[in-house]
Structure 1
Amino acid sequence: MFKGIGRNSALTSKIAALDALRANVMIADDDLNIIHMNPSVIDLMREAEADLRKELPRFSVATLIGSNIDIFHKNPGHQRKMLAALSKPHDATIKVGHRTFDLRVTPLSDRGKRIGFVVEWNDAKERLLNLDYIAQFVAVNRSQAVIEFTTDGQVVSANENFLKAMGYRLDEVVGKHHGMFVEPDYRASRDYAEFWDRLRRGEFQAAQYKRIGKNGKAVWIEGAYNPIFDASGKVAKVVKFATDITAQVELLANLKILIDQNFGEIDGAIDQSSNEAGAASKAADETSANVQMVAASAEELVASIGEISQSMVKSRSATDDAFGRVVSAGHSTEKLSNAAQAMNGIVGLIQSIAGQINLLALNATIEAARAGEAGKGFAVVASEVKNLANQAARATEQISKEIDGVQTTSDEVVTALGAIREAIGTVREYVTVTATAVEQQSSVTQSISATMQSASAAVSTVSASVREISSAVHEAAVAVGKTKEAASVLVR
């Protein structure tokens, strides 16, 4: 009970009357102790009890009466200070956990003295939703064309966006039928009548529509006709939200013209590109095969030149050996010639001895003749010595002739060996030059082989790239085909 009002029967009757109200009413005394809660507020608190306990663990509907209103506040000091100075109704919104409540606190007085407070509770969910809906509607109204109709199609109101798109003033459309915005043939058709019948049945309708603005101007809209229901579930009105897409439709019409004019050329160009890419790919493959063949031939040539180079090295070694042997033979032949010349001196000595012997034999013969019979035997010996001396002279002459022949032959051999040495020296120089050239050719050929291998790899890369280009052209053709189909759909 309120302090000092226990005997106030009029106030007691008023408190009793609160139980019959649908309003959510809570009464607290001057010390903010809860002394009464009508059934509506009790139901509200029970419905929110589980959520409130998440933030207020001590909260319990069963123990609210008799507890202090501070239970709803984490920091009650501020609340008490504000209520102490309260002299007129005060509106506030509090949030407890996920719940939001709108409160109206009204001080109660008896003969000028405050005796308590009446607190009206309301779940703020619907109010906040309505505020959100209003904000959304304002946003829609700001960005889209909006017009309202009765269920019979009479214009109730229209926003500035709609009037601007259609070219009318508000007073020119309010009270007029929706049919003023459609073509006469469609307005008289069964489809138009069915359009409004479906709306009156509550069926939502959305599409692109052609409408007629002021002075017969064609206006295209992307619109949605929305039946609005009243509390009884009956369609009360129709609201249309629309966007002016006239410019887009005109662009699509131009696109259709471009499609009709240019897609044939594009298809031809892509076909030509595809054919050329295919031919290029084929040529690249053939070039790659040819380059690989040349590269293989270059490798074989490198191997052949390597073998030639080895043969030239061996030939050079053999030529050097032959040159050395010819030089050695030349030296031996010179020794032979020198020996022959030396034998000439010996032959001369023999001839001189033979002459002396012959002279001695002559003297012996003369002395034997002088001796007479006693000298006959000596004369015979002298005669034989003379014969031997003559034979030795003849033999010496023959030896001299042979030695001359040997010397002449030796001279000829020396001359021939010199010529052979010069010829082998020339061959040796040619072999050396040839071997050097072969080595250079081997190095160059190896470089050519490596280059051809690189070229083969490069051509293979080009071939792969051309195939990728061909694939890309094919994909572009497919994409253009899809674009063409999509564009055709857009411009229908």
Structure 2
Amino acid sequence: MVRMTNIKAQLAVGFGSLMGLVLVLALLGVWGAIAGTGLFSDYRTAARESVLLGDMQEDVLSARLRVMKYRALRQEGALEDVRAEMEALIEEAGQVKQLLGAEQAGQIVEITRQAGSYSDAFSRALDLYAQGEGINADLDSLGTQMRQNLTDIMASAYQDGDPAAAFYAGRVQEHLMLARYYGSRFVAQNDAAARARVEAELKATSAELQVLQDKLQDPGRAGLASDTQTHLDEYIKAFANGVETQEALTAILTGELDVIGPQMLSSIGTLVDHALDTQSAVGPEIMSAFERQVWLLIVAGGLALAVGVAAALLIGRSIIMPVETVAGALERLGRGDTGQDLEGRGRTDAIGRLILAYGTLRETVRKAFTQAQMIDQMPLPVMVADPDNNFAISYMNPTMERMADSMAGHLNVPVDQLIGTSIDTFHKNPQHQRQILSDPSKLPYSARISFAGRRFSLKVSAIMDASGAYAGPMVVWDDITEREQLAELVNSSVTRVAEAVGRAKSNSGQLASVAEDTQQKSASVSAAAEQASTNVKSVAAATEELSASISEISQQVVQSSGKAREAAEIATGTQAKAGQLNENSMRIGDILKMISDIAEQTNLLALNATIEAARAGEAGKGFAVVASEVKNLASQTANATIEIGQQIEAMQSVTQATVDEIGALTHNIAQISEMLSAVAAAAEEQGAATHEISRNVTEAAQGTQEVSRTIIAVRDGSEATDRSAQDIQLVTDDLQAISGELGEAARRFLENIRAA
């Protein structure tokens, strides 16, 4: 390959030769331009003269057209238009004067003077037009009044039967109407014959009016005739003034305007012809000079082309071939082929630097391809949008494409057309999303959306190019539907555990209350039993003294019977309470079974959560820790539930024993009641059954002793029940604390799920 210095030399020689020939071409062009400058200047001057003189002709013609239109149509603003045209002509004449010689400049001065005269003449003509219109108005008014007077005379004469007056009035009116008719023709056409006819008709009108006045006898008609004579004199005078005005106007129109206008056009035409003659003479000379210049440029251009081709061949062989080699490698690199390496890294010329740049670019492309493969293989859906193209989707990895296929029924466009579609199709409020995505300073950004019946966590990051410019947002989708459902299920389970623990605590408190009530009732029964024992002893003493105090024995027996009934009622109530206590303990057992089931279910959920966290990899580590805490708390809950169950079983055993013993006590008290009844009967038959009374009293004493022993057993059982209830209370307190910890762990678990 040629080194850098040689390339520079070849480029310098090649382009230097080209520049030299270009310089020659430029010099030839300058020489030709200088040679043709004089001719072109003359031609340009003549062309400018032609244009300006043409504008002057147009101004004169426009002014004359304005004058003729006014004469025919009386258009408003004609004077201003004519003056504007003449002022434009004078200004253009001043420009032409600078281009012409002294002789032609004199003609321009004369044209300028004529333009001023034309404007002044038209101004005076307008004054005469206005004066004539005033005279015509007077003539119309006078003619109308005279015609009306004559009409009134004829009508009055006809009514009065004066045909002579009507006849002569009609003759006057006939000549008057003819005079007015020809007067209108004179004003419109300036016709001399019409003028003579008007004057003749006015004389005839005056003569006929004099005859009419001589014939009239009626004062009223005579007055109308006299008034008509006055108006006729004024009419004749006004017509004479109108004739003078018309003559003056005609003099201006025909003697000035119709003369000055053609004179200006003739003078301007002469100057135009001179300018055209100049152009006709200079034009061929310019064409001849240009033809010579073209041939010179063709010859010089051919030489430049030959040198350029030679330089191009030289440069092509030494530079273009290596550049094409690099270009081919770059094309393959553009298709993703990074396997080709180029030789020549040690070169110090521009080609060497180009090869080094290719190597750097190849490494960059290789890294970019690797990173693109990493994104393509990501298990999470990824898409990229173009902020300069309405945030159209420009890339989706395969995972995103599969997810889009699963949501195809909820998309506005087919899945294969998502590339190029705006990212707005996934959002109900795209304006809010655009405000965030348009500003890279607001990124990264996290959000959650619902779409196609699923919940997604979106993490948006800003992609920057090598220059640090914002290239677009990258959106990573994460389907968190199952995790949110799992979190809600864990939260529901923890809530149920807490509620069950609360109910267990309430039942344990109720059990303690029942045990305390049992103790109180046992004390009452014990007191009653002691009282019964005392009474029985009194009965025994009374039996010994039966003969002395029969009434006292009966009274003591009645008291013993009442106490026995009271003891029976107390024992019955105690038995019912003990039965209720037993039922409550059974319900507590059911609740503990439900808590145990919930703990097992929570343990299974925690196990599933651990598995899902393991699947999530690095992103699920925090989720795995929370799931482990939930599992441990579930195990603690299960162990505490087992311990509570054991305590409940012990309490149930003691409660059942208490129920049985209270039943025996009730039975014994019933026996005491029967015995006391027998004592009462024996008291009535005291005389015949003293031995039987003694025996019954002995049995009653034994019964009261049995009652005392039974009451003591009941009291011991109730104390045991109370202790068991206290133990249950402590266990439920521990269980409630554990459920609180479980609730806190579940709350953290939910927060981690929602933040994932």
Instruction: Report the TM-score when normalising by structure 1.
Output: 0.32
TM normalised by structure 2 equals 0.22
Structure with more strand by fraction: 1
Instruction: Answer 1 or 2: which has greater helix percent.
Output: 2
